[in-house]
Structure 1
Amino acid sequence: TKCFNPSAPPILSSAGGQLINQGGIELRISSLGENRFSIAASGSHPQENCLTLLLMIKGIEVESFVSEYPQAKGIHPFSGEGGFQYSYPSRAATMPLSFITSPDKEWFVLSKDREIRRKGFACYQDHLSNEAVVVLSHDEDIRKVSRTISAPSWELGFNQTRQDIVMERCRDLEDHFGLVPWMEKETTQWIDQLKVVAFFHGVHWTGHMYNTFDQMGEQLEWICETMDGKQVMAFLPAWDGRYYNTYPEHFPDERMGGAEGLKHFVETAHELGVKVVLMLGGPNLANFDFLEKHQMSDAALKGPDGVPQVQNWLDWNADLAKETMGLIMNFGHPKYRDYMVDKTAELFDLYGVDGVFLDGTLRWENAPDYSPYEGLVQYTREIRTRYPDRLIMGEDGYDAVYGLFDMFHTSGGPLGLENFMLRYTRQFYYLSYPAENGSAGIHEIGWSDQSHTIRSAQPEYTTPSVSMLYGILDNHGDAIREKLSSYRKWQLKQCPVMKK
């Protein structure tokens, strides 16, 4: 700490120096050698809680920030006008890590935090000094805020490969978050033998039914005329009635054949050697009827301000108005997590399915009541203890979450910096993967023939998929059979992060 008057007490100022208060900020910078610095900070205020510490860096001629694949909005060009900001954990930043490109070198900035706490990344033009300002932020867990704050160190450096820095974060994940690399997981190695994940769509939000359970069984038998059943996974979205409408009740839809129909489909699949996975609402939604019935509105995912997050961004029925469906949920809430554990166990015990898929596992906020990340850790730990041979799959995520699930699908197929997701889990195509007629089935995108879901995902790293709608074989059977035949040759391409 540098003070102009060593005998004076430390002070804080704001509003251009118009507001003065006692308190202090301390910045600690250490050279680690090899073009690397460690930067840590702490602060205090006598009356107010301290939520965020900002670090501003000048002297880097910024061209862009890189935090993820382009389809995840992970490339952030900087032109000297305007600026940008994003945060971890999110689709745009699945690690607390960014690379900063400049004309003569590439920088990196990595947080060494051993907890999941929000990290912000930004770049703006300082119009007084006419240069770029890199801004980094650390937010304290809102449940633990006090009048002091201490930020874990940021490591800033240049002239090191992206591979080396990503692997450094992976070592942090394995040392401090308990992640286990894929090659050390004995129970899931068979997943690398899969050649296709077949989407058997159920009932659309509007009530349009694409398949009954018996029709799914017929199509699965047809698929297994071309593919070995052990190379096929059957993935069932909207098996429980109108998509999203009944979340998270999760009972087999009566129109589709009810409980007996689902049991018969699972039996058919197992006779063929196929594993069956059911899609659940997960954190993404609990509808208002469910919340009232179970007195669980307080289990909503809340922002730092305590305001519940609402599921209200889609127009499901094309009436030019968005539907407000319910609330996004926090798996950290004990009552909701217990409900989902019991529901998952019920599906395993009653129907013999091989796995479940949680929608919206990316959902994270600096919530004032419960940690959504800690909730997912507890949920997956309990299910694996009770059902060690069953699959748990998820939609979207970030580094510490990837290690909790056996398979993922991510919109657009990003795999993280240097494809680090593949060190811990496997990816298949997104739910909106189109059927041969271009339909996305129950997915809200509707028509998916040229969507980024298929244009952006990397086939060599993504388990192939087909989408099945009853009757599609009449006009497209030959094309689907040809696709399945080509899938038999598919092999997951190896990349450096997958190695020990």
Structure 2
Amino acid sequence: MSLIDTDLSFDPRDPRFPVPGGPLSWSVQVFTTTNGYGLRPAEPLVDAGRVHLRTGYAALGQQRTVDAGVVDVEVALRDGVLSWSITAEHTEPIKAVKLLLRGLPERQLSAGWWAPNTGRSHSHHERFQLEYPSPDWATPWVAVGAESDCSLLSVRDPSVRRHVLHVNTPVHSPEPIVELLHVPAASARGTTCRVPEVRLRQDASSPDQDLDEHLRFVEGAHGLRPWESRPDVPGWLRDTALVVTLHGQHWTGYVFNTFPQMSEALRFIAQHIDPHRVLAYLPGWEGRYYYAYPRYRPGADLGGDEGFAELVRTAHELGFRLMPMFGGHGANVAQYPDWERAVMRNDTDRYVELLNRPDWDSDRSGEGDQVFLNPAEPGFRAHLVESISALVDEFGVDAAFLDTVGYYFNDPRHDVFDGYRLLVEELHRRHPGLVLAAEGWWDALSALFPLSQQWFGTDRDLREPRVLSRYARTTGHLAEGTPGPGSTGVHEKGYVPRPPDVVREGHLPVVGVVDGTLAEHGDELAAICRWAAANSPR
């Protein structure tokens, strides 16, 4: 059962408190590493434009009070915006604080919820959950209702921390309850938790101004720069019209393209689009995809160092740019003996988080030796820096793609986003012109990586595309089906029909090449190249 489907089997009987000048009511719950708590009933101080509450804890369900600390909440109304300031103190370490809202207009609730990166034709209804940071919720701002009649909820958090929006109508409630959870970084967890400002603008006739205000806050907090003036975006990337995925070696050892075959594909593509407008992306160049992680040298079965050097020479002579793929987290424990020092841990540091275990060989069971390592751990981060630097220094590649860094983990030993930042800073210090790309995107991540892959299966027709396109560009996922039957190459997805090419703001088209693509589907590949050249803005 997924976490979204779990719930209390009783009414927590949370006391409900008012907001200044409106029918909305709110409650707070606090969660420690050992239990969850509600608030004791109390009379808040209410005056013009302000509600202030200071009270202690009760057990969920209100069967008893608990002498463990206090919660201080102030709700203020300024310029039509309700703002919550919440500070919780508890004798136990606090792992989350939940704000519960009731009383949003039914007409807005029935129209559904949407985030800036929700698909244009989609909205969320009934029971659903969005989690930031993730491809589902790229920035902690959300609207409920039609664009001409909506309420707007946002979190002004200066740091990258987990936030969860959960909407549901439990059996004990006659109306939907909107839950907004703040989850502090486990690496900084303590007995006091100050929740970043939560804002609610009700009955807005347009979301644009509020979203732009939110984005200005995000820009200041995370150092986001406009795409046009980013110092980490060279001219060739601004002019890129197409990403070509040249699949190398599968986990099982099956070879889709050797380095000479990759060169052949590039020569073919150069006949149908200006190579200077193409970025060639290389997954599985290091040998057995994921199995070799995190040991990054040109795969022997593909042509080794000599073959890779010749591929780079050919690509650059034609005008292409090359972007090999590296694992931002993934590792085979047999390849990296020091894995336990860097492996992701659960938020209480009691066990290893076993994440992303694909069935690479189709025995219908996830592989047992794959773990996720944290690039915030100094040793693993240094390993990644040296591996990428070696490829740049020895072969002159133009970019490096970091797999899975769109994931956020609440590892108590090392703050994962801080690790991403330090990794990027060191690589830029050593190689100022190197382009860095990520799998997945969200607001603060776009400040580090100007290019990303749109996560597989995520809608690209964004409701508010400027949340992406103002700062960065994204392209199709590694698992985009290739021309013909749709092989996903080194990826574990098998066969997926390639989606039709459509112009999307901020998105670069992608096409993949596996064995047989040139010989059997060369006409389709050529047509895709010509379409990209004609439809991508310069």
State if a TM-score over 0.5 links the two structures.
Answer: yes
Report what 1:322 is aligned to. Answer: 366
* 2:318 equivalent among 272, 289, 294: 272
Q: In 2, distance between residues paired with 1:219 and 1:5?
A: 70
Of residues 250-259 and 425-434 in structure 1, the stretch that sits farther from structure 2 once superposed is 425-434
Counting helix residues as a fraction of each chain, which structure ranks higher? Answer: 1
Q: Does 1:474 align with 2:516?
A: no
The 3 A distance-change label for structure 1 pair 120 and 228 is same
**Structure 1 residue 271: deviation in Å?**
0.6
1:228-377 aligned within 5 A:
228-283=274-329, 285-292=330-337, 295-306=338-349, 307-377=351-421
The 3 A distance-change label for structure 1 pair 349 and 90 is same
The 3 A distance-change label for structure 1 pair 5 and 300 is closer
Report what 2:268 is aligned to. Answer: 222
Q: In 2, distance between residues paired with 1:55 and 1:456?
A: 42
**Structure 1 residue 41: deviation in Å?**
0.9
**Structure 1 residue 427: deviation in Å?**
1.3
Q: In 1, distance between residues paired with 2:205 and 2:84?
A: 18
Q: In 2, distance between residues paired with 1:464 and 1:55?
A: 41
Q: Does 1:404 align with 2:448?
A: yes
The 3 A distance-change label for structure 1 pair 257 and 90 is same
Q: In 1, distance between residues paired with 2:420 and 2:471?
A: 16
* 1:385 equivalent among 418, 426, 429: 429
**Structure 1 residue 160: deviation in Å?**
5.2
The alignment partner of 2:131 has SS state of: strand
The 3 A distance-change label for structure 1 pair 273 and 422 is same
Structure 2 unaligned spans of 5+: 1-16, 18-40, 46-53
**Structure 1 residue 10: deviation in Å?**
4.5
Counterpart residue type for residue 178 of structure 1: G
The 3 A distance-change label for structure 1 pair 181 and 107 is same
Of residues 228-237 and 262-271 in structure 1, the stretch that sits farther from structure 2 once superposed is 228-237
The alignment partner of 2:534 has SS state of: coil
Of residues 93-102 and 306-315 in structure 1, the stretch that sits farther from structure 2 once superposed is 306-315
Report what 1:431 is aligned to. Answer: 478
**Structure 1 residue 460: deviation in Å?**
5.2
Q: TM-score, normalising length from structure 2?
A: 0.83
The 3 A distance-change label for structure 1 pair 105 and 206 is same
Tell me, yes or no, if the aligned pair for 1:119 and 1:139 is still in contact at 8 Å: yes
The 3 A distance-change label for structure 1 pair 488 and 256 is same
Q: In 1, distance between residues paired with 2:495 and 2:527?
A: 22
Tell me, yes or no, if the aligned pair for 2:147 and 2:206 is still in contact at 8 Å: no
Tell me, yes or no, if the aligned pair for 2:441 and 2:453 is still in contact at 8 Å: no
Tell me, yes or no, if the aligned pair for 1:300 and 1:327 is still in contact at 8 Å: yes
Report what 1:448 is aligned to. Answer: 496
Q: In 1, distance between residues paired with 2:120 and 2:302?
A: 35
The alignment partner of 1:199 has SS state of: strand
* 1:57 equivalent among 90, 96, 101: 101
Q: Does 1:151 align with 2:195?
A: yes
Aligned residues: 479
Counterpart residue type for residue 359 of structure 2: D
Report what 2:7 is aligned to. Answer: none
Tell me, yes or no, if the aligned pair for 1:206 and 1:317 is still in contact at 8 Å: yes
The alignment partner of 1:485 has SS state of: helix
Q: TM-score, normalising length from structure 1?
A: 0.89
The alignment partner of 1:107 has SS state of: strand
**Structure 1 residue 259: deviation in Å?**
0.3
Q: Deviations over 1:100-159 (max 9, x none)?
A: 227993111110111111111111225445111111111222222222221111010130
Counterpart residue type for residue 433 of structure 1: E
The 3 A distance-change label for structure 1 pair 10 and 168 is closer
The alignment partner of 1:489 has SS state of: helix
Q: In 1, distance between residues paired with 2:432 and 2:397?
A: 13
Of residues 116-125 and 142-151 in structure 1, the stretch that sits farther from structure 2 once superposed is 142-151
Report what 2:9 is aligned to. Answer: none
The 3 A distance-change label for structure 1 pair 29 and 278 is same
Q: CA RMSD in A?
A: 2.6
Q: In 1, distance between residues paired with 2:144 and 2:482?
A: 40
The alignment partner of 1:131 has SS state of: coil
Q: Deviations over 1:141-191 (max 9, x none)?
A: 222222222111101013053333332232112212112121112543432
Tell me, yes or no, if the aligned pair for 2:328 and 2:404 is still in contact at 8 Å: yes
Report what 1:488 is aligned to. Answer: 533
Of residues 457-466 and 92-101 in structure 1, the stretch that sits farther from structure 2 once superposed is 457-466
**Structure 1 residue 25: deviation in Å?**
1.5
**Structure 1 residue 377: deviation in Å?**
0.7
Q: Deviations over 1:319-369 (max 9, x none)?
A: 222223421121111111111111111110011111110000112122211
Q: Deviations over 1:459-492 (max 9, x none)?
A: 4542222222244322222232222222221224
Tell me, yes or no, if the aligned pair for 1:412 and 1:456 is still in contact at 8 Å: no
**Structure 1 residue 201: deviation in Å?**
0.8
1:143-182 aligned within 5 A:
143-158=187-202, 159=204, 161-182=206-227
Of residues 390-399 and 479-488 in structure 1, the stretch that sits farther from structure 2 once superposed is 479-488
Report what 2:114 is aligned to. Answer: 66
Of residues 138-147 and 327-336 in structure 1, the stretch that sits farther from structure 2 once superposed is 138-147
Q: Does 1:190 align with 2:236?
A: yes
Q: In 1, distance between residues paired with 2:275 and 2:516?
A: 22
Tell me, yes or no, if the aligned pair for 1:180 and 1:403 is still in contact at 8 Å: yes
Tell me, yes or no, if the aligned pair for 1:68 and 1:75 is still in contact at 8 Å: no
Of residues 362-371 and 460-469 in structure 1, the stretch that sits farther from structure 2 once superposed is 460-469
Counterpart residue type for residue 491 of structure 2: H
